[in-house]
Structure 1
Amino acid sequence: MEESLKDGKIFPTTKSSAWNYLQTLGACVSGRLERFSPAGAPPTRPKKRGNNAALIEMDLESILRTNLGVNYLTKGIFEKMDEAALDLLQTLNTMVNLALITSKGASTDRNEWLETIESEDSQAVELRARVDTFTTLQTDFTRLHNLMTFLTSPRVATDQRPFSLATGLHPLFVLPLTDSGDSAMGSLRRWSEILQTIQGRPQPSDDCSFISLEPVTESHGQKELDQHPGESVSNVVQDIFKEFRQLGCVTKTTHEIRLHVTDDLYSGRLGHERNLEMFISCCPGSTLIWQNAECGNFAFDDPVKHCICDRISWAMHCRRKLYIMVNSNGVFDVTDRLSVDPLRCDSFDGTSLSELLKQDIFKPIDVQAYLDNTADKRVDSATKAQVALGLSRCLMHFFDKGLELASHSWIADNVHFRETSTNTARGKKRLLYVSLRPNLNENAATEMVKMFKNGSPVVLSFAKLLLEVLYGKALKIQVNPNENYNLSSWLELGNIVQDLRRDPDGGPFTSKYLEVVENCLSLWATLSNGDGRTDPAGKIRFMRKVIYEKIVHKLELIAGSESTSRTGSDVVVSPERRKRKTQDSIPNESPVKKLAYLPRAPSAPVSLGYVNGQNSSVSPGGSVAAAKQGDDKQITDDDDAGIHGRPSLYDEQVGTSEHEQKAAEEHLNALINSMGEYIKPRANGAPNEKPIKVAIIDSGMDADDNWIRAAKTRIRDKRNWTGGQVDNCADECGHGTHITRLILKIAPAAEIYIAKVSKRRKLDPEVPGQVAQAIEWAAGVWKVDIISLSMAMDGENLTIRKALDKVLNPPHDWPKKVVVMAAASNWGGNRRIGFPASHKGVICVHSTDGYGNPSKTNPTAQKGKDFAVLGMSIKSSVKGKNKKRTEKYISGTSYATAIGVGIAANVLEFAKGDPTLWDEGKGRLCSSWGMSCVFSIMSGERGGYRNVMPWRLFDRRSEEDVYRDIKDALEPDV
């Protein structure tokens, strides 16, 4: 390096006076950076000059923040850098706001000036001296010199005006009246491109001008792309899917992964070159249940081979992160060899791009967005560029790996964002994930051939996805798997690009981004040049090189120029931004700050707020939202009572007389006693007998409750879906505790599984997604027989409906059917039956008093949705603020549902005693339809409802008679 310096082959950047001038200008501005912010909204929507001024401010702030130190360049790139720096300085010199410098804004108190001068540190004096040295430059930058002198003068420290760079009331730079700003943006763009080269970002093979002083083992600019660290990443994915294809379950389900896409995948960090963060779908297939895993290189010499599908299930049950070693010998689970902590985050807590598009989160941020106070909710161009860059890297490295890219990965439903669980100094990060799934129908070679045709479904789907990220809307353009039928789709996408190019408000970012999309649409033309290659490896290298130069590298430059301080595909959610009040149309921050962040998406159709420092929870197929901060004290039954129609776990509390309480107690005892002689408590059951399993999806449970503590051996598992520790199911509102107590009391032989999905009595917007996850987990992982849903929503929720459809009508790879019971609601006859009780296949439960009379708060009964069970004036207990439990009488369909679940568990427990009934009729009995048939023969009509009375079937009858009646109810010949 020293010889090169002496020979004049390379030059330090500090040799350029223009370079030094720009660095000094940045120092003058950054010393007072916190005072640079626009002050309020413009009175009218700005025209082109106003829009360009905002764009200039964004790019200029990024440039002035950049401090690269000393870099060494070849002669050619040094001359380009020096020329671009002089051009930018000349442009800025013409834009200096002389009126700002000459007007009075500082304090007129001479004593205050003197105090300021005396308190100045040596850095300020040194900076002022540096400014004075630039008077000797050959080019006349008098205005810039005056501006820097003004910024470093002692008087400016007392200036009270709200300065900005190019917008607001007191900008440092203004566009001349005859200038629209196009030339200034051109100068800024050229300088940004120079910075990308100097920063050492990957360059095309014909541009290797940057020389680093540090010794390196590889050159990102010259190294063959197939040897890039990202290629080893794709090989790991390929090896994992090769293992998946060999699993016995491949005929029933296809394991897929959600891969975390980040710059770390491509950096080649020592010890992490081949390690990937991902989530793996469980078996049987589920879109809601995912296992967190790290796959790659682990230093173990003698790994033990296991069935990876079994190990995924094992890790789920143990609540551990899965560590998979991938090498030339295969895929091995090494989780047991590592010291790991239990998972803090259960399943995949992310939201899909499609949901964000529905919520207009990716719509362009224009001035109108500020005036409408919606800009704060949208992502900026820097974020879009980072997302597109991450996706393009996946295209480059996975196009030849035999994956379902066109029909799976390049669909907005399968691109996700996930928030980290920990705060950094700059807020929480949102991480980009892409779903990958092996293509079992076609081989990789067949897919590669399609890449050379203009109707390539892989390329067109990717171009469509890029446009959706930019445009912020889902495009209704169908891409056919057969490339011969995609000409119209190719033309439609091209027309959209041209329409966006003609948009006068598009700006330079849109123009550069659309160039990438055009390159993507014309990729087939470039690739066709290599179609005649006979060497498969050479063809792949050629294709990867073309994708890099035409798409990936372009996005690297765009992402670098658009981003200020963020890196990779991670998006920062600032805690300051969440707390910001928005009374003003435009918050008092610079555009770069206010355009920076990706908010949470609401779960349809309820709108959400922002994250409040809590771990996130997933709304599958819908959204992600943070669980709200709960109070430290337990919420009592009296809180928020009487809110009709809102999604709710809790029931109405009504005054009850001693007479009603006594009748309810006698009714409950009769119910328990009628079944007691037929059902043996679990402790007395045979040790190898499979018990009936009941999942309670509710608000958790209080482990200190007397009934629960006495039956703790029957609580087989628990899982928290609301954030925090996955096994922390402490009940914060008491509802789940009441439900658990009742089911334990009614069904003495059942095993209980607790799923906590809510912290409050009223359901927050994220709860439906958590309920859907818990439903699939209960049926698919716990393999329960009955699911209890003591909740009601005034309207169907699509996410929960999909989960219910799956467990009520399971696919061939699902374990079995289940009985699902839900509360009818407590809104009275003025409202319909709540969801999910209204869903076909779910047993709807109304409530009665101790005399079998329907409750006045029941909704109107419907055919098939008219079962009623005791639910009024039931004795229970509640924990107060002093942690002591006091007696409480509870009422509502939630508690009727719990008692109904207990009755159903006893029916299934009893049926196991008859092999014919259990083995041959189980498929009918262990379903909501079968249990409804049994409930029918236990019921009597009362006030338009079917009052369920178990003694009608069980009380003092022989077991043979009971078995016969159940068989007849299901089917006469069973």
Structure 2
Amino acid sequence: MLNVTEETDDGTAVPTLDLRLAGEALILLVEQYGLFGARAPLHLAQPYAAEPKENLDKLIRSGAFKPLDLLTLTRGSPSIRYNTQEKRALAVCLGYCLMDFFDADLSSQRIYFLGSTKESRSGTLKQTLYLSFASNLPATAESHIFRIGHPTLLSFAKLLLEIEFGQSIDFCITSNCDKTNRATWAELCDMVDQLEEERNDSYLQAVRGCLMAHRQISRALRLGAAYERDAELTIRKELYGEVVEKLEAALAESTPRTGNKRQRSESPDPIPRTKLRLSKPNFQGQSEQEASFHSAIAPKTWLRDLMTISRQVEIKRREWRVTAPIRVAILDTGLDWDFPVFRKRTGLLKSISDVKDFVTSSTPTATDIFGHGTFMARLIMECAPGAEILVARVAENTDKLKNSQANVKEAILWAGQAGRADIISMSFGFPRDDPGIREAIETVQKQRNEEVIFIASAGNSSTDDESFPARHPSVISVYATNSHGTFLQSNPVSTSNGADILGAYGDDIPDAIREEFRTTYPKVCQPGSSVATAVMAGISATMLAYADVLPSLVPFQREAAAVLQCLRTTKGMEALLFRLAPNDRDHPRLRAVNPMWFWKNRSDDTMRYNAISEALWDIHRRLPRRG
């Protein structure tokens, strides 16, 4: 709720900042790409007392949000003016306010710009544009009742349309879900219906979602949320999915593409989404199905992108002194300790925390003489340089793998029990289920309360079914894509009965990595789901590392820690990986994981947390409460 304590000259109430909100303040400000939301700890003896300069309603009436047309140009453009991208950024900020203050009046008359009125080069308010909110009391039971004409949802839908078209909409909204509000709701629905005849972009979907969110929220509250805190989390989760996520998509669509010689400031082209395609299978030269390691790769920028994200995460972890390591166990052909790059870059081997040889028990070093395990380790070292790696040698080479099921079973038990691995990566597969391996997976899952992530490669033959253990329900099955998200023709047939399938980069590896293996192990550097599995393990390790520090970076620390704990389960990580994959309308089942797409389109920690928690929410609700 807003704490209203002051009035302006015209009698309008001004929301002031209340420092009793656990020593934190919600601040929205202009940065490089427009407005964004952040919570920052306050260390002030007195409340922030910046003089209010403008409220949003006055800015709308001044024409600051109105699209340029001939009449506007004739009359003269307003001194302060927002382009499409800046309007979308403002809408995203306000969307986060809606999630935090769903019981407040978020009409344009109640939203103030505090501080300086200096303009940026684009004509918008510069640097000290703030929207400050405060909360006096906890939400009441009445605030958890959502019906047609809910005043906050109604006001916010109206506000989004006012920002979009740059003019006030004079509809009456009361503080109750009464007849007046229901009539206004119908009017706004009619407006959206008419607009959808001409367009149906993400922004308009957000407005529609705001008008219809009461249904989803009411249904979600009926299905659960026995505690008040759970009810508030449920409301936020539904508001994110119905409104805020679509506003984020609208912001991404409005962001100009890089590399063009000309950029339009108004209504830039949407960012194109990668087409995920299944190429026609090649039936020539296919051998009889047998156990095999699934290898791969060649060059582009995806590995550099993954390294960039991982470095950013490690910086945040160091700043907040998060030291608990993420442990990735690689079950493969071992590790070549004398590999040339390890001799040149001795620091790489510091990531190896433990080894175990299940092929030759008398050998303590698990030495790789085939190269496949070394290749997988190098990929994870690059994708997740902060991760600790456990090496389990389960086979000497591909030919010996088909008789190594017992080794795999023992390695899974070792990695999950003594090794306490967070992630167990298996870049291989068998044509038939093995009861020993199945038992080992289920034993570790039970002993670890499901807090261990299994990842395995789906296979490398378009004429075969998905391999085992990838098809086990407690394992994330990984298919291979190229750097553009196109699924490789070598992928096997899915056995998931029509469910979506996950793909990761299994081709287009940088030349530097290929060169490392060109002379020593040239045959292992081939495209396929082995590479995709190692890459997926690296992505998962980075996301786990980020989840460890994320509660320190967002305002809802207790809630965040509880929800993010689900990410340590196979089902939780799988749900997040689907969120990291853009939708493809032509091939909706094929989901190519693209962390940089996710990272760029959700440009701060709060936006990422909301997207992650929304993906994990259903899993979080099903897990038993602890403590």
Coarse TM-score class (shorter-chain normalised): 0.3 to 0.5
- TM-score, with length taken from structure 1: 0.31
Greater relative CO (CA pairs within 8 A, separation 6+): 2
